[in-house]
Amino acid sequence: MVLEIKDIMKALPHRYPFLLCDRILEVEYGKAVKGIKNVTINEPFFQGHFPDEPIMPGVLILESMAQVGGFIFYKSDEIEKSLKGKIVKINEAKFLRTVLPGDVLEVTGKLVERSGNYSQVDLFAKVGGRVVAKAMITYAFNI
């Protein structure tokens, strides 16, 4: 199942310039997800990070990963689609390569654990098949 930008905008509250997910390529509800963010020179953050050597900020790579990761729970039979997850914890975040204008950030995530209102997702971001970032993100629902 592929979700295009209009479907993503129905699911996520984020809007420009903070919507950092362009397409969901695969979803196994409650288990795994794969999505992309097309990184262009037109991103507003490149004006200041850095003007002579544009690099996508690590915190925005994490945000992109978190937005894609949240689709594991979208329309799941365990969590109603009206519920919005919030990030409550990020563990083991590592940035292994820079992300530049023109890159396609491919994010994959797998549900590791669910306990009550909390769900932990293992996420990887790749460019050209090479891991650029990884993190374990914990989402909370109904808090």
Tokens 């894609």 — which residue?
Answer: 68
CATH assignment of the domain containing 93: 3.10.129.10
pLDDT tens for each residue of 54-109: 999 999 999 999 999 999 987 644 444 545 789 999 999 999 999 999 999 999 99
What local confidence, expressed as pLDDT, does residue 5 receive?
95
For residue 7, give the H/E element and its range.
helix 5-11
pLDDT class of 1 with cuts at 50, 70, 90: confident
Mean pLDDT score, 25-38: 95
What local confidence, expressed as pLDDT, does residue 143 receive?
61
pLDDT at 132 over 70: yes
Among the listed residues 23, 49, 75, 114, the single catalytic one is 49
Is residue 14 annotated as part of the catalytic site, yes or no?
no
What local confidence, expressed as pLDDT, does residue 94 receive?
98
Ordered DSSP codes for 76-125? -SSS-TT---EEEEEEEEEE-S---TT-EEEEEEEEEEEETTEEEEEEEE
Contacts 24+ apart (CB under 8 A), 79-84: 79/30, 79/141, 81/11, 83/141, 83/142, 84/13, 84/141
Number of domains in the chain: 1
Range of the domain at 106: 5-140
Is the CA virtual torsion 127, 129, 135, 138 positive or negative? positive
Instruction: Kindly report the pTM of this predicted structure.
Output: 0.93
pLDDT tens for each residue of 118-128: 999 999 999 99
What is the length of the chain? 143
Average pLDDT, the chain: 92
